[in-house]
Chain A
Amino acid sequence: MNPAQASGWVGELAQQHLDAAYNLGRWLLGNEHDAADAVHDAYLRAERAAQTYAGGNARSWWLAIVRNCCLARLSMRKRETHLHSVDGAAAAQGLNSEVEERVNAAQCNTLLAGHLRALPAEFRETLVLREIEDLSYREIADVLGVPIGTVMSRLARGRALLQKSLGASPAQEIGHGM
């Protein structure tokens, strides 16, 4: 495949599965800005990796790259918070991002979204790929780079956790209502 063909192909792939990529980014990173940046990074990385694409499910390949870019941002974010934590300005920034998180939370303000957001990332991403993006076990395994058995156990654990938190909270809500 020559570079011209390769670039056209990756661009189309990215556009075709842009919502899936952005959605995964949002659920991993929590806000619009970071998710969009991560998807943009992912596109550039995919172009560079296009030559080495060895066939197989293209959507999984693309989402795996998106996920890696998200994880890279997450670990960068963690490092930054750590470095700046003694700094007063950073504390204000931290507060800002907290406000931002709350605004985002309000936009997607369902009980379920809150519980899904509260899940540990490994369960959250597996559930998002299965239930929202409708990927098969095989595809999820490819995106996450884990065996199918791991996908199944994460789904089971994630669903159980969600059911548990949903089972616990509606009762409280009703209590408040009355």
Chain B
Amino acid sequence: MECKNAQNMLEAYLDGELDRDAARALEAHVDACAACREALSGLDELRRALRAGGLRHIAPAALRERIALAAAAQRPPHRRAPGSTWLRYAAACLLAFGAGGVSVHMWNSAQGADSALSHDIFAGHWRALAAATPVDVVSSDRHTVKPWFAGKLAQAPLVQDFAEQGFALVGGRLDYLGAERVAVLVYRHGQHLVDVFVLPAAANLAAASEQQGYRLQPVRLGNQPAAIVSDMDAQEFSRFVTLLGNAR
């Protein structure tokens, strides 16, 4: 990529508006180009200042009340008038439904951090499945994959090939969970692609979950927390969990 092109794409990259391939191409250029690196870190610094500066004005409580009052006034009056039994029954149903909604919402926010993480992991896996290739470094040799990560992350993950057990190492890629850059080890089992996201040490993914037929399972990889995501059947999945858990 030419520097001139890269300069024009830096902001879109920072804003998360580049597709995967373009972002990768830009990263490769930035890794090699001091001027672009400096420009990018300048932009990043500005962003952090803008986001950390307490620049967001929060709506005063009085305004919130004012809108709530205006909204109540908008509601047609027959809703508040005492109605037939049927109407009261309907209102009770609505209330019960609303209360359910509230408790579900509270439950969701309690699970917030965890589900944001698993959401990112599922999204990363699906993105990789949709991409032309799910890996950045193609190799079945762990001695190639591990050093490739070593140059890009603070801690390179434990890499092991399980081809003999039916889970062949395909390669690795870098992905993002929130703002965190993480390693992903990619295995293939028959027709199934298996991603192992190596999580930051502080990440706390408590429970397994399932979305649209894909399963996500927390596991420990050496001394690092990790998560396996794939659409393999349950039996094969648990076999891989055991293999990975025993990797040394």
Task: Point out residues on A near B: beta carbons under 8 Å.
Answer: 3-4, 7-8, 10-11, 14-15, 18-19, 21-23, 26-27, 32, 35-36, 39-40, 43-44, 47, 108, 110, 112-113, 116, 127-128, 130-133, 136-137, 152, 155-156, 159, 162-163, 166
Which one, B50, B63, B79, contacts A39 given CB within 8 A? B63
Q: Known interface pairs A4-B76, A14-B71. Does A40 touch B53 (Cβ–Cβ under 8 Å)?
A: no
CB-CB nearest in chain B for A3:
B76
In angstroms, Cα B50 to Cα A23, docked, is 14
Summarize B's interface: helix, strand, loop or mixed.
helix
Which one, A10, A40, A43, A152, contacts B11 given CB within 8 A? A152
In angstroms, Cα B54 to Cα A89, docked, is 36
Nearest Cβ distance between residue A12 and chain B, in whole angstroms? 8
Binds A, one of B40-48, B158-166, B236-244: B40-48
In angstroms, Cα B60 to Cα A128, docked, is 19
In the bound complex, residues from chain A placing their C-beta under 8 Å from that of B64 are: 15, 18
In the bound complex, residues from chain A placing their C-beta under 8 Å from that of B79 are: 4
Contact count A vs B, C-beta below 8 Å = 107
In angstroms, Cα B46 to Cα A27, docked, is 18
Q: Is B75 an interface residue (CB 8 A)?
A: yes
Q: Is B59 an interface residue (CB 8 A)?
A: yes
Q: Known interface pairs A136-B17, A152-B11, A163-B42. Does A40 touch B66 (Cβ–Cβ under 8 Å)?
A: yes
Q: Is the CB of B53 within 8 A of A112?
A: yes
CB-CB nearest in chain B for A24:
B57
In angstroms, Cα B12 to Cα A39, docked, is 30
Closest 8 CB pairs of A and B: A11-B71, A22-B59, A26-B57, A7-B74, A131-B50, A18-B59, A36-B63, A23-B57
Nearest Cβ distance between residue A163 and chain B, in whole angstroms? 6
Q: Is the CB of A152 within 8 A of B55?
A: no
In angstroms, Cα B74 to Cα A163, docked, is 46
Q: Is the CB of A166 within 8 A of B67?
A: no
Interface flags, B1-35, vs A, CB<8A=1, else 0: 00000000001100111000000000000000000
In angstroms, Cα B48 to Cα A162, docked, is 13
CB-CB nearest in chain B for A14:
B67
Nearest Cβ distance between residue A157 and chain B, in whole angstroms? 11
Q: Is the CB of A44 within 8 A of B70?
A: yes
Q: Known interface pairs A23-B56, A116-B55, A132-B51. Does A137 touch B67 (Cβ–Cβ under 8 Å)?
A: no
In angstroms, Cα B79 to Cα A81, docked, is 45
In angstroms, Cα B62 to Cα A149, docked, is 38
Q: Is the CB of A159 within 8 A of B71?
A: no
Q: Known interface pairs A39-B59, A43-B67. Does A112 touch B11 (Cβ–Cβ under 8 Å)?
A: no
In the bound complex, residues from chain A placing their C-beta under 8 Å from that of B12 are: 137, 152
Which one, B15, B43, B56, B71, contacts A132 given CB within 8 A? B56
Q: Known interface pairs A18-B64, A18-B67, A40-B67. Does A127 touch B50 (Cβ–Cβ under 8 Å)?
A: yes
Q: Is the CB of A35 within 8 A of B67?
A: no
Most chain A C-beta atoms within 10 Å of own C-beta, residue among B12, B47, B55, B58: B55
Q: Is the CB of B71 within 8 A of A155?
A: no
Q: Is the CB of A110 within 8 A of B54?
A: yes
Q: Is the CB of A36 within 8 A of B46?
A: no
Q: Known interface pairs A19-B59, A163-B46. Does A113 touch B53 (Cβ–Cβ under 8 Å)?
A: yes
Q: Is B150 an interface residue (CB 8 A)?
A: no
